[in-house]
Structure 1
Amino acid sequence: MKTWLKSGAPWIWLNGGAVALCVVMVVGLIGLIAVRGFGHFWPADVLQTTIVDKSGEQHVILGERVRSETIPAAVARDGGYSLPEDVELVTRYLIKQGNRDVSGRDFNWYMETGMADWEYPENAMVIERREWGGFYGFPVALEQEGEVLFNSSEEGFWQALDEAVERSVELHDEITHIEKVDIGRINHELERIRLERRRMELDGADASALAEADAEFSARKAELDAQYRQVKAERDELYHQLERDTLVAEVASGTQVNIPLHNIVRVTRPNAMGVVGKMGQYLERFWEFLTDEPREANTEGGIFPAIFGTITMVLVMSIIVTPFGVLAAIYLREYAKQGPVLRLIRISVYNLAGVPSIVYGVFGLGFFVYFLGGSIDELFYPESLPAPTFGTPGLFWASLTLALLTLPVVIVSTEEGLSRIPTTIRQGSLALGATKSETLWKVVVPLATPAMMTGLILAIARAAGEVAPLMLVGVVKLAPSLPIDGNYPYLHLDQKIMHLGFHIYDVGFQSPNVEAARPLVYATALTLVLLIIVLNLTAIRIRNSLREKYRSASD
């Protein structure tokens, strides 16, 4: 035993066991998040049953079973339920009933006691709406401008309903495109005309120049107004087509509800679907989650603006932090005179890596946004004042704050990479007649690029998961408009963005509907983890390619 302990084998097994335990914990955590989050998109069967409430009255309920739990019977009795004295434990079920516009609540707990057997009616439908959440009920009729087109009992009703819903979704997308692209472009041009006129006034243009400019501006505005009237007429016609269809449905209690088709995203019958149909529906809903905009206070819809904002911010941050971090490391390692001042600078850099991120957010808000951004507005955008352009939180300031946050990581990694370059390589280059500058930039720096990429990988991993500083410098709860569009300068660095990390915080802690938001928290968290993994794998691939490229030179 003593020989085995002295051989070091126990420590090898201990390290291997620790690594295996960490891998199991990471895989288990990701698996839990995936099951809790991505399972939300599977079309669950819709149950119908009869329950007895606290007053002894019977009610018919229709919805999806979310989960169940066993509680002490005393708790149920305290809640007003009448239970036999010999019952110690009772099971209750959380049922998602939807119909928030009818009942006021879409999630309810029901006791198993007094609950009838569950049934799964084939014609029960689930409607995903743009407002008021989901709807659970039975179809009655499809109407167009008040006239019945199909009754639910007629053959071909479901096909007609699917076609009508598909048409309404297409019309809604066309209207959205017109409002965001066509009308947005016209509004952008009108705002440019106003700012040009304001700038001429600030520059002190004389009356004749202003009169000549006003005539030109009036002609341009008249042209834009004509375009707006034409686009508006097209949009109004689409609105008329969109609002003429109505679905008449009935809830479990028998109450009929009129649902305009323009408020419907999808109509499904989970109880009538097979595994293949549910799989297709699952993929469709999951793809919509990744590519659509959020709805209902971020508790429904997609997260594409948050994904796009996160990627854009990380890319802009990488473009900013890489040259500054690399140049700072090169100066500290290759040019700065070694001494107490340099040691103090290095200690300061190391300490910056441990500063809480919220401190960077406060600094970014005070210096970047208010001071630097306010100065930029006064110098380059005076015509927009008092409305700020760069003097307000936005994409550029969020990226710059994250660049400052991750700068110590890039500096330390690059400096470590430069220190590992053998002295013989430097001496060989100098012996061949190269200058110190040529040796540095053509020999040393290329060999240190893998270390630079390592620093960038660490910077991306930290920046993509930060939330606290971003809340102060440019990330907001809802910003469905992307910072990239067809209007000059195309990438709008002054625009506010959404971020996956803040989206998780907002949905998880600020949502008015906790149960509806719970699966989206898991799904968004897993999306953020996968996004970070993809970004890191891309950077690692680049680093490995550079390492292989310069391996022979370093040997």
Structure 2
Amino acid sequence: MGKWFKSGAPWIWMTAGTVSMSLVAVVGLLLLIGWRGLVYFWPHPIYQWDVQGVGGNNQRIIGELYDQEQVPVERLRAAGHPLPSDEEREWLTRYLIKTGNREFVDLDFRWVLETDIKARSTPAELALLERTTNGNFYGRVSGVNVAGKVVTGDLHGPLREAIDRAVDLNSQADSLQKGEIGAINYQLEKLRLKERKAELNHELTDQLKSELQAERDKLQADYLVLEKELFRLRADAGRDSVTVTDMRGEAVTMPLSKVLDVTWPNEMGLFAKIGYWFHQIGKFISGDPREANTEGGVFPAIFGTVFMVILMAIIVMPLGVVAAVYLHEYAGKNVMTKFIRIAVINLAGVPSIVYGVFGLGFFVYTLGGSIDRIFYPEALPSPTFGSPGVIWSALTLAILTLPVVIVSTEEGLARIPSAIRHGSLALGATQAETLWRIVLPMASPAIMTGLILAIARAAGEVAPLMLVGVVKLAPTLPVDGNFPYLHVERKFMHLGFHIYDVGFQSPNVEAARPLVYATSFLLVTVIVGLNLTAIGIRNHLREKFKALDN
């Protein structure tokens, strides 16, 4: 036994066991998040319950079975819930039902006790209508009005065609509003700032005024034409309507301009459900958020996360590599260099919110405010760069991840034998040429390792971004068709903040819970995708410069 301990085998097995348990825990957590998130997009059956209401009156409820739990009978009786006197069970099941139709019912979700349920069925004619506002609508489609004519017979096909038409028209209207109309508004604002700048510089002449006014008049004329087309598209999208009989037994007519999709889940087969599942995932990834982020997609958050991380990587890579090269190749081996290395290592342990406060105070207020005063005085008091934006978020996270890149690059430089440097210098190369052509290529895998670690940390950070650029809902993306096309001063959406907002700031907690899992799984997927891209580049560089290692 003593020899076995001295051999070190127990510590090897302990280390292997710890690593295995850690991997199992991480994989299990990812599987849980993925399952709870992806099952949200699966078409669930729509049930019809006949329940006993207050005063013994029967009530009909239509909706999806959202969750269920076991409740002690004693707790129900203590809460004053009426139970049968002969009830002898210790636990009862109660069901959480998503009823939707939130503009006509008090609660979007309601609990129903199993003893109150008189009957439950899944009629094939029950439909789910996904809407732009007020969430889902459940009921029986009783009529479709297309171009002023009432459709009879099978309503499935005509209703889908009418909805597709309305969705296409709404998409054209949104593209027009965000594209050409948005560009005109952007140009009008540019003209206003140009006139204000000339006024501040005492260069505003009558001729310049007339030229600017002529440009405004032309833009206004174009705007009126586009506005008329926008109103036509909106009105045309609302031409058709659908009538649905809800669980109250009342017929509700709604314009199809407010309807995004319709499904009859109880009629679907397995392959239809799989196709619907992929369709819903695609809409979640490519769509815009709705209903205070509790409905719709997360494309702006995906775009903002990836864009900010790429911008951060572009900033941190040269800074980190230059700092590491100076410390390892040029700086003297003295107390000051040791102090700088200790400071760099300690910076990695500073809480991220401290970096956020620093970024807000230095980058946003000091640097951004100075840029506004020097280059954009005509826009004041409205800030241009003096407010949180994607550029300040990228700079803040670049400072946050800078120690990781410096340490990783230094370790890569330290692994290169000094004989290689001496050989290069002996052949007549300068130190700069040796560094650029020999040392840095050999250290490039270590540099990419530092970048991978920086991306992994930066993509998941939320606390500093709340101070320096991220918002609940960004009206426009940082990239559009207006010059200079890349607007790094704009605020943006982020998957991490989206998870926080949906999970803890949502007005409808039950509706938002599945989106927390879905967005979390998506964030992990984005981080893994970015890391795999960087790992692929690192492996390519390793193979490319393998001859130098030999």
Question: Into which bin does the TM-score normalised by the smaller protein fall?
Answer: over 0.9
C-alpha root-mean-square deviation of aligned residues, in Å? 1.4
Q: Is the alpha carbon distance of 1:260 and 1:79 closer, same or farther for their aligned partners in structure 2, counting shifts above 3 Å?
A: farther
Please tell me whether residue 38 in structure 1 is matched to residue 38 in structure 2: yes
Contact residue 143 and residue 247 of structure 1 kept, 8 A = yes
Match of 1:515 in 2: 510
Whether the aligned pair in 2 keeps the contact of 1:45 and 1:64 (CA below 8 Å) is yes
Instruction: State the partner residue of 2:51.
Output: 51
Distance (whole Å) between structure 1 residues aligned to residue 80 and residue 125 of structure 2: 34
Equivalent residues of 1:474, 1:497 under 8 A apart:
yes
Deviation digits for residues 208-262 of structure 1 (CA, Å, limit 9, x no counterpart): x611111211221121112111111111111221122221111112022222211
Structure 2 counterpart of 1:213, one-letter code: L
Instruction: Tell me the equivalent position of 1:107.
Output: 109
> For residues 304-331 of structure 1, what are the alpha-carbon distances to aligned partners after superposition, in whole Å with 9 as ceiling and x for unaligned?
0000000000000001111011101111
* Secondary structure of residue in 1 paired with 2:107: coil
Letter paired with 1:52:
Q
Residues 477-511 of structure 1: CA deviation (Å, up to 9, x unaligned): 01142111110010100100000000000000000
Any residues of structure 2 matched to 1:177-216 within 5 Å, and which?
Answer: 177-205=175-203, 210-216=205-211
- Superposed counterparts of 1:121-140, under 5 Å: 121-140=123-142
Which of 140, 162, 165 aligns to 1:164? It is 162
Q: Is the 8 A contact 2:323 2:406 kept in 1?
A: yes
Aligned-partner Cα distance in 2 for 1:231–1:552: 62
Are the counterparts in 1 of residues 144 and 243 from structure 2 also a CA contact under 8 Å? yes
Counterpart check, 1:149 vs 2:150: yes
- The residue identity in structure 2 corresponding to 1:26 is V
- 1:18 corresponds to: 18
Q: Does 1:403 align with 2:398?
A: yes
**Structure 1 unaligned regions, length at least 5:** none
- Who is 1:416 aligned against? 411
Q: 1:474-553, aligned counterparts within 5 Å?
A: 474-553=469-548
For residues 336-362 of structure 1, the C-alpha deviation after alignment (integer angstroms, 9 at most, x for no partner) is 122111111111111111100000101
Identity of aligned residues (%): 53
**What is the distance in 2 between the residues matched to 1:104 and 1:89?**
28
| 1:291 to partner: Cα distance | 0.3
Assess if the C-alpha contact under 8 Å between 2:138 and 2:246 holds in 1.
Answer: yes
> Structure 1 residues 458-467 or 446-455, which shifts more?
446-455
2:55 aligned partner, one-letter code? S
- After superposition, residues 453-472 of structure 1 pair within 5 angstroms as 453-472=448-467
**Cα distance in structure 2, aligned partners of 1:125 and 1:75:** 36
- If the length of structure 1 is used for normalisation, what is the TM-score? 0.96
- Distance in 1 (alpha carbons) for counterparts of 2:433 and 2:142: 81
Does residue 116 (structure 1) correspond to residue 114 (structure 2)? The answer is no
Query: How big is the shift at 1:10?
Result: 3.5
The separation in 2 between residues aligned to 1:82 and 1:388, in whole angstroms, is 61
The 2-side partners of 1:116 and 1:526 are apart by 39
Question: Helix, strand or coil for the counterpart of 1:118?
Answer: strand
Which amino acid in structure 2 is aligned with residue 338 of structure 1? Answer: K
- Which letter does structure 2 place at the counterpart of 1:149? V
Please say if residues 293 and 480 of structure 1, whose CA atoms lie closer than 8 Å, have aligned partners that are also in contact: no
The alpha-carbon deviation at position 552 of structure 1 amounts to: 2.4
Q: State the partner residue of 1:65.
A: 65
Q: Which residue of 1 aligns with 2:90?
A: 88
Matches within 5 A, 1:76-475: 76-83=76-83, 84=85, 86-144=88-146, 147=148, 149-150=150-151, 154-205=152-203, 210-475=205-470
Partner amino acid, structure 2, of 1:241: D
CA distance in 1, matches of 2:192, 2:292: 34
The alpha carbon displacement at 1:14 in A equals: 2.9
* Conservation of the 8 A alpha-carbon contact between 1:305 and 1:480: no
Q: Is this contact kept in 2: 1:165–1:264, CA < 8 A?
A: yes
Residues 98 and 109, structure 2, Cα contact 8 Å, conserved in 1: yes
Residue type at the aligned position of 2:277:
Y
Cα contact 1:168–1:262 (8 A) shared by 2: yes
Bigger drift between 269-278 and 254-263 goes to 254-263
Task: Tell me the amino acid that sits aligned with residue 68 of structure 2.
Answer: S
The answer as to whether partners of 2:51 and 2:119 remain within 8 angstroms in 1 is no
Paired amino acid for 2:435 = L
How many pairs are equivalent?
Answer: 548
Mean Cα displacement is larger for which, 421-430 or 72-81?
A: 72-81
Structure 2: runs of 5+ lacking an equivalent: none
Instruction: Compute the displacement of 1:25 (Å).
Output: 1.2
